[in-house]
């Protein structure tokens, strides 16, 4: 979109960042006629380091955004490999979730999602880096300052808004600038990915490898994480690995070395030679289990990675970002109808409540899961003894991919729901 910002722009809602969180928030706001401005520091199409995997939970959100996914690469489920076993787990067709997943390169996906938001009326300014929050004398966030453009042509603008949404990803620059720090005792992941051309790039299962060794395979420790090979279609695969730790300080994964060791053990038919590698191996952090909160305070909301919404079970962050954006927009729409700030805050207090109801217990289970698999002996037990038990793996598949029905459903769904209620909310 053309940069039409003046020195003193005023909008109902300003959204910082146009990743999945920002696009979803903006789409759902604009679709009920709310004036929403999205500021994005990059220019689209832009890349984002990611596995590009979309579970049924993410597909569910794409459907609610009316995104046309004709021709997108679909998959039937997950093939899990470890401890000498290979298990194929189809995505279950649920009441509330479709029985398929997808892969979509983020350079394309994110552009398509924000374009969808613009189609329904959101305004987007690219090349706009938000530098700070504007606060009134009570500390309430009443807008942002942004640097538009680069170099000699850069200029600073102030944008005032009734509500400000930080969708700026793991750095959460805006939230940090007003003192909302990340919680070091929550899980944090680190992951790295690259792309290869491969004769198996059109397969319809995403593959997950549970044996990532800290050193020599079989003679060192199993890392708490997994390697993935996600077919993207058109003869391309996204290949990467990730590891998780129960605190923010413990993710010093020597990922290049682990990646090289893992690659040496991948079957040749994948064709993972240097000549077929079409992108560098690059890494980024995954903020998990609500590692930054409050998700609403004094005019400012956090959505997606900015609010630490990645699942510690599988490293998935797109579905939670899209869903939280929808929740945020619902609450904002109500809040903007209130007569004064107290009313706005009362309506907005629903947003963290909705997040807790949806993910609070589930993310707490994720924290327990991480603290268990951090023990290499437990990780080994899971791969050697757990994987070959089909009944157990059907349950684990639903649990790890957030593929369970929150209400009703079968025995597995009810057990997972009961477990999420037994633990305190994350």
Residues that bind ligand FAD (CB under 6 A): 16-22, 39-42, 48-53, 58, 129-130, 167-169, 171, 173, 191-193, 240, 284, 286, 304-306, 310, 315-319, 321
The CB-of-175 to ligand FAD minimum distance in angstroms stands at 11
C-beta of 292 vs 367, nearer to ligand FAD: 292
C-beta of 302 vs 373, nearer to ligand FAD: 302
How many CB atoms sit inside 10 A of residue 350's CB?
16
Helix 20-30 / helix 318-335 crossing angle, nearest 10 deg: 30
Rounded to an integer, what is the distance from CA 102 to the centroid of its chain? 15
Q: How far is 98 from 76, CA to CA, in rounded Å?
A: 10
C-beta of 176 vs 384, nearer to ligand FAD: 176
C-beta of 16 vs 344, nearer to ligand FAD: 16
C-beta of 174 vs 344, nearer to ligand FAD: 174
The CB-of-329 to ligand FAD minimum distance in angstroms stands at 14
Answer for the pair 255, 190: CB distance below 8 angstroms, yes or no.
yes
The CB-of-219 to ligand FAD minimum distance in angstroms stands at 27
The CB-of-414 to ligand FAD minimum distance in angstroms stands at 26
DSSP state of 91: P
For 111, the enclosing helix (H) or strand (E) is: helix 106-119
C-beta of 147 vs 414, nearer to ligand FAD: 147
R_g over Cα of the chain:
21
C-beta of 171 vs 378, nearer to ligand FAD: 171
The CB-of-320 to ligand FAD minimum distance in angstroms stands at 7
For residue 369 the two structure tokens come to: 């899961």
DSSP state of 183: -
C-beta of 26 vs 298, nearer to ligand FAD: 26
Q: How far is 347 from 331, CA to CA, in rounded Å?
A: 6
CA angle 128, 131, 136 (to 5 degrees): 120
How many CB atoms sit inside 10 A of residue 63's CB?
11
How many CB atoms sit inside 10 A of residue 289's CB?
28
The CB-of-332 to ligand FAD minimum distance in angstroms stands at 17
* Per-residue exposure over 23-49, b if at least 16 CB sit within 10 Å of its own CB, e if not: bbbbbbbbbeebbbbbbbbbeeeeebb
N- to C-terminal Cα distance for the chain? 39
Q: Give the chain's length.
A: 426
C-beta of 201 vs 317, nearer to ligand FAD: 317
Give the torsion sign (CA, 292, 323, 167, 313).
positive
Q: How far is 313 from 419, CA to CA, in rounded Å?
A: 15
* Peptide bond preceding 45 in cis form (omega within 30 of 0): yes
* φ and ψ of 202, to 5 deg: -115, 15
Residue 413's Cβ-count burial label (10 Å; 0-12, 13-18, 19+) is: buried
The CB-of-102 to ligand FAD minimum distance in angstroms stands at 10
The CB-of-340 to ligand FAD minimum distance in angstroms stands at 30
C-beta of 27 vs 344, nearer to ligand FAD: 27
The residue nearest ligand FAD at its CB is 317
The CB-of-209 to ligand FAD minimum distance in angstroms stands at 14
C-beta of 83 vs 404, nearer to ligand FAD: 404
Please report where in the chains the tokens 């549970």 appear, as a residue.
210
The CB-of-42 to ligand FAD minimum distance in angstroms stands at 4
* Peptide bond preceding 294 in cis form (omega within 30 of 0): yes
The CB-of-408 to ligand FAD minimum distance in angstroms stands at 25
DSSP state of 308: T
């Amino acid at each position: 979109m053309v940069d039409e910002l003046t020195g003193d722009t005023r909008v109902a809602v300003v959204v910082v960042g146009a990743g999945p969180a920002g696009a979803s928030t903006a789409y759902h706001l604009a679709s009920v006629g709310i004036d929403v401005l999205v500021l994005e520091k990059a220019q689209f199409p832009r890349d984002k380091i990611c596995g590009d995997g979309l579970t049924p939970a993410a597909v569910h959100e794409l459907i609610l955004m009316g995104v046309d996914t004709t021709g997108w690469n679909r998959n039937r489920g997950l093939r899990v490999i470890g401890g000498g076993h290979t298990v194929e787990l189809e995505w279950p067709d649920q009441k509330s979730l479709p029985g398929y997943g997808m892969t979509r390169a983020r350079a394309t996906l994110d552009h398509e999602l924000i374009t969808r938001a613009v189609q329904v009326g959101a305004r987007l300014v690219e090349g706009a880096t938000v530098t700070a929050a504007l606060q009134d004398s009570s500390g309430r966030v009443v807008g942002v300052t942004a640097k538009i453009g680069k170099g000699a042509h850069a200029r600073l603008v102030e944008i005032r808004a009734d509500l400000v949404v930080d969708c700026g990803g793991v750095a959460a620059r805006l939230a940090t600038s007003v003192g909302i720090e990340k919680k070091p005792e929550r899980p944090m992941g680190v992951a790295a990915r690259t792309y290869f051309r491969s004769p198996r790039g059109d397969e319809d299962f995403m593959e997950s490898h549970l044996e990532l060794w800290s050193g020599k395979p079989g003679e060192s420790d199993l890392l708490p994480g997994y390697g993935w090979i996600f077919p993207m279609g058109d003869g391309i695969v996204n290949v990467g690995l990730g590891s998780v730790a129960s605190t923010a300080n413990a993710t010093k994964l020597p990922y290049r070395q682990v990646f090289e060791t893992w690659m040496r053990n991948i079957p040749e038919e994948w064709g993972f030679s240097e000549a077929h590698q079409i992108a560098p191996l690059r890494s980024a952090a995954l903020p998990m289990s609500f590692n930054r909160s409050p998700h609403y305070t004094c005019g400012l909301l956090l959505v997606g990675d900015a609010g630490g919404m990645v699942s510690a079970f599988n490293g998935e962050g797109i579905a939670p970002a899209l869903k939280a954006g929808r929740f945020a927009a619902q609450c904002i729409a109500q809040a903007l109808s209130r007569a004064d700030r107290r009313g706005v805050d009362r309506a907005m207090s629903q947003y963290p409540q909705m997040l807790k109801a949806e993910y609070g217990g589930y993310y707490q289970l994720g924290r327990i899961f991480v603290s268990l698999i951090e023990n290499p002996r437990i990780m080994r037990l899971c791969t050697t003894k757990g994987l070959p038990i089909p009944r157990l793996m059907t349950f684990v598949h639903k649990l790890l991919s957030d593929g369970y029905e929150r209400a009703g459903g079968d025995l597995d769904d009810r057990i997972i729901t009961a477990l999420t209620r037994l633990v305190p909310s994350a």
